[in-house]
Structure 1
């Protein structure tokens, strides 16, 4: 696909050269590149001291007294945005300068690398091609671009990056973890000598500071911290499951003093760095046996997050329940980022690949940061967990990384690992795979390919009570083979991107064979649905959801499969709900998708809010998983489904060179959103009343949008910025002319 994409980009560039005289945006002054990224990071000059953001001081950072960003690889990538409200603003060439000194860069001297004028529309994932970079050195860079009329921009502002002392062939840089001081939103005197502070939302906190007063040295305050409270308003001492609660005795000294609560280490796989210290999650703080006055300013917590851009996204609609669900999921990305990678919650603090997939997609939809998802995915390649599907899902997260960033380095570096993650070594005579309980797991060479030393098992769903009766044994399973098929399809895409022509042919042929065998083994012709395995007639929701979402259902059978899926409701966990929603919106049933996300039943995201959590849960509620925790990123599926499917904005070509706008509002009257992309933000506003659908969209520079709208009966009139346009009608949808940068008012009636 690299050859294909490059040639497509060249054609893409040449097409704009040809129409430059007609496009108003191309005849104007070219926009200066902004939002410069090195190794996908926007703020390579970010520095902190003990987690708190501080002004940039490179000598201090190099001495190790500041936490800072260090570029870890020998060949970093570069990227930028082209911001413009003008129509048709496209890049056709660029020039990057990298200098060893700031003064040299000011003189336009790229003594480390001068790319020269490169004919290309590419504005992300551009690999460094200069002299070998030295370790522990500062480098300065900038870029200028040209449009289709060969009008060049001014150079961008300079950006700077610091290399690590020992540069590697491939490694993903990250920001240091960040502390933010937060005060309660309210403090209440709930009963005599008992105060409760509510911080509004739960967060993982490194320190808690209390400024308290006492008339003697004999007073002792009992401090309670927790994620849950009681109906009386106190901190819940017995919240159940893995919902966090801690108790500390605090002897007071005479007078007014500030005390720090030192949190106890609670285990977990991923350890906190020393500059942060141990953290615990809590929303509420209760001061028991305190006779003084507890004001808001006298209680401060140091919440720990991976740096996060609150303004990168927004969503609001005519449905208040959906808005609350969105807020829950958006905040969940921030709250669960406290280790600098996706984990499964506070109970284990273990990175699971299933959490990575949902966390990755949701993070892409709420923030314009790509390194935490990439690091999480890459870590799991060499630190796999026990479920079969989690091994397989690494191929999916690898493809998403490339699709959203346009940066090939990760899939190139881990290509052999990704091939193994398909689990082709477990293939049987008919081309399908069986993993659980097979003797092949006893082969150390087979297991070493996937970095495993222990056995792996099919999970289907978790907890086991969420499997809708799925028959889990050592048979050939539909869910496992649906994943297998999806991996083969994606491996053909990855091979194409890397230019491995023979592998493209191999994986396409293999995928076609698997699809044929899949239909023969699992399709129930009589009942028109998919069975769980080759040894049962039972047909779970899961067997049909994964078959549909991964493209295994024949067109003529999709209606019957969707009918069966609808009949099952939410008969799955919060994890499989991700794929259920993808399948439903893929089948263009926006009304049903909306009804699942704005449900107020027990098995809903609103129930998480109702039970008291401000972060997505591990399960639908406490009764569905007795040991669940209240800080699990895999419960945040609507955070990406709302943006990708309901709002309908998602990439079509890697690096957002082309993207889709395909709204499925269901019964919503209106919705508006800001969707972050590596090209810049896409903003949309939708409204629908009667037979009229209206939208306003702002498209960033150097990309193009495919706009697909639901047709209104037989006759449809579409106007763009007041001018009627022709739209292609196909299968009940209207395909509008491709739109490029600018602001557009679109009306369909």
Structure 2
């Protein structure tokens, strides 16, 4: 008999009917291993957590009923029946019908299925939840693994071969794969949601998800559908609003699609928070905004003691980044006068930012007016957003390096960007790999197969274990270790700038709208790099300066370059499909 659900594709509907979501399908997955616990109890392991339910095919068993346990966590050789926080466990007693396929699923969770902003999944699917393990109790006789099919919700267009990353550090490879799969698995709803606890889109989550989505798959619709939904149902944090401008800018750089951007341009103006600007051009916060809306980081324990004031340096860093991006989007849409206006606001506000928040005595930025406290975040965000004058960067970077991972998995996206962009790639990789409970290595070694909402359970006791905003290495490693980035809309100019850290070699595959870019570089005996492009592309190449660097060659011919920040900058050049770069 043909399964009831097989590769069945739906357009996911939302409680807010004004938005549509990208197609998602239920895909059949068989257990990777089957273990007999005792004479009537079986443990099925599907290898990784996925959002889904269980389909039982007709069997020759004479069993009348069974008890099915669904588990996202594992302890002492069995499904954890009392997992922490929002980690999922469910149990269902069900009769067995030996003539038809049956879909087995627990009672729906009230919070993530009835909240006004929660994404509603197709009724045809039945209830789904994240799980990896199934235990079947009261099942005597032999069990046929092929009869117990996990129906897993994945994007219908997802291509597992679209991207790849491999380097000389095995743990870094495992981190990338954890994060890559996290993007796939958490896309179950057709739009980017925060996790299973709420199943609600948030702007910051969506932006981080978008960045990693572009570097792990070819889809562009999920980010766009999430953007349109969030325009209709925005969330509360102050800094989440500018993320909408970030999303639009990222789409523009990736696709160059004016047909998508232009009709959305006017609505982006509301995300600049200009109604909160004071006489000096800086964003101000009232008592409610200070207490509730200005978020800095999440969960609150990750704020490094941030002191909230009327003038908040983190809020204003995001405001400046939004103004900078909005200037570029105005140019793209042909709004020249508006672009000049935003640029002038940016310049004057940046000057006010520097005068207001930089403490020349310490060489650090303070949290706000009225406090001398300098938090980790007050310095990471301006560094990530290129607000720090060149003369001040080194001292701030050194201070950041003395602090460790003093922020959440969300803010770690910006920390990684700040470090890689400012010559601290050794330290960035070190943080990913550090043997503490505040690193991606810790997630890998915990055995999780989807990234968490927080670094560890103790930092957010109610966290769920399926949060894509914890998957920053999915985009950070190809962007920086492979060095592949779009420098002009629609990838019309490509930058190849590997930050090699202390790694010996790396290779990978980066999806673009034109086809994949393949990179492979080796540090020894002299630095060399092979670039495979999907077509002839205008390319900016940066080559790391090693101690014995003498001359740089492209396809055997010497090329001129200039040295800047320990990298040789080659002039932009139209590269052939295959290019070999070497140092001699």
How far the C-alpha of 1:50 sits from its partner, in A, is 8.2
- Given candidates 458, 464, 470, the residue that maps to 2:300 is 464
Q: Secondary structure at the match of 1:312?
A: coil
Quote the residue 2:434 is aligned against. 599
Of 537, 560, 564 in structure 2, the residue corresponding to residue 726 of structure 1 is 560
Residue 710 of structure 1 corresponds to 544
* Contact 1:388/1:456 (8 A) holds in 2: no
| Cα pair distance change 1:546/1:67, threshold 3 Å | closer
Q: Report the secondary structure of 1:655's partner residue.
A: helix
Residues 51 and 650 (structure 1), Cα distance of their counterparts in 2 relative to 1, 3 Å cut = farther
- In structure 2, do the counterparts of structure 1 residues 198 and 211 end up closer, same or farther at CA, with 3 Å as the change threshold? farther
The match for 1:294 is 143
For residues 295-310 of structure 1, the aligned pairs below 5 Å read 295-307=144-156, 308-310=158-160
Runs of at least 5 residues in structure 2 that lack an aligned partner in the other structure: 13-17, 113-117
Structure 2 CA distance for partners of 1:256 and 1:601, relative to 1, 3 Å: farther
CA contact (8 A) 1:618 1:635 kept: yes
Q: Secondary structure at the match of 2:241?
A: helix
Aligned: 1:656 with 2:501: no
Contact 1:212–1:257 (8 Å) recurs in 2: no
Distance in 1 between residues matched to 2:36 and 2:331, nearest whole Å: 64
Q: Is the 8 A contact 1:398 1:411 kept in 2?
A: yes
- Distance in 1 between the 2:255 and 2:136 partners? 47
Aligned position for 2:15: none
> Which residues of 2 match residues 241-320 of structure 1 at below 5 A?
241-252=85-96, 259-267=102-110, 268=112, 269-307=118-156, 308-320=158-170
Question: 1:732: Cα distance to partner?
Answer: 2.9
Q: Deviations over 1:555-598 (max 9, x none)?
A: 00000110111111101110000000000011021111111222
TM-score scaled by structure 2?
0.93
1:413 paired residue number: 263
Whether contact under 8 Å (2:542, 2:570) holds in the other structure is yes
> Distance in 2 between the 1:694 and 1:393 partners?
37
Aligned residue pairs: how many?
A: 569
Aligned-partner Cα distance in 2 for 1:552–1:52? 51
Q: Does the CA contact (< 8 Å) of 1:204 and 1:304 recur in 2?
A: yes
Q: 2:84 aligns with which of 219, 230, 240?
A: 240
- For residues 177 and 678 of structure 1, what CA distance do their matches in structure 2 show? 21
- C-alpha contact (below 8 Å) 1:209/1:259 kept by paired residues: yes
Residues 1:398 and 2:248 aligned together: yes
* Pair 1:227 & 2:77 matched: no
Q: How does 1:483-562 map to 2 (within 5 A)?
A: 483-562=318-397
Report what 1:566 is aligned to.
401
Deviation at 1:714, TM superposition (A): 7.6
- Residue 629 to residue 715, structure 1, CA distance change in 2 (3 Å): closer
Q: Once the 2 structures are TM-superposed, how far is the Cα of residue 52 of structure 1 from its aligned partner?
A: 4.2
Over 3 Å counting, the alpha-carbon distance change for 1:505 and 1:51 in structure 2 is farther
Deviation digits for residues 409-459 of structure 1 (CA, Å, limit 9, x no counterpart): 3331122221110101101121101235369x9xxxxxxxxxxxxx96011
**3-state SS of the aligned residue for 1:701?**
coil
Q: Over the residues paired in the alignment, what is the CA RMSD in angstroms?
A: 2.3
Deviation per CA, 1:232-261, whole angstroms, max 9, x where unpaired? x211101110000000112346x7875431
In structure 1, stretches of 5+ residues that fail to align are 1-48, 55-65, 70-170, 442-454
Matching of residue 327 in structure 1 with residue 177 in structure 2:
yes
Displacement of 1:706 in angstroms is 0.5
1:117 corresponding residue in structure 2: none
How far, CA to CA, are the matches of 1:674 and 1:436 in structure 2?
47
Alpha-carbon distance, 1:728 to partner: 2.7
Structure 1 residue 215, shift from structure 2 partner:
4.4
Residue pair 1:388, 1:480 contacting (<8 A) in 2 also: yes
1:746 maps onto 2:581 in alignment:
yes
Correspondence 1:575-654 to 2 at 5 A: 575-654=410-489
The equivalent residue for 1:189 is: 36
Question: What is the CA deviation profile of residues 369-425 of structure 1, one whole-angstrom value per residue up to 9, with x for unaligned ones?
Answer: 111111112211221101001112111111101110110133311222211101011
TM-score w.r.t. length of structure 1: 0.73
CA distance in 2, matches of 1:415, 1:216: 61
Contact 1:212 1:258 survives alignment (8 Å):
no
The answer to whether 1:209 aligns with 2:209 is no
Aligned-partner SS, 1:620: coil
CA distance in 1 between counterparts of 2:581 and 2:536 reads 21
Partner of 1:124: none
Q: Using the alignment, how far apart are the partners of 1:421 and 1:652 within structure 2?
A: 24
CA contact (8 A) 1:660 1:706 kept: yes
CA contact (8 A) 1:208 1:261 kept: yes
Does structure 1 conserve the Cα–Cα contact (< 8 Å) formed by 2:7 and 2:28?
A: no
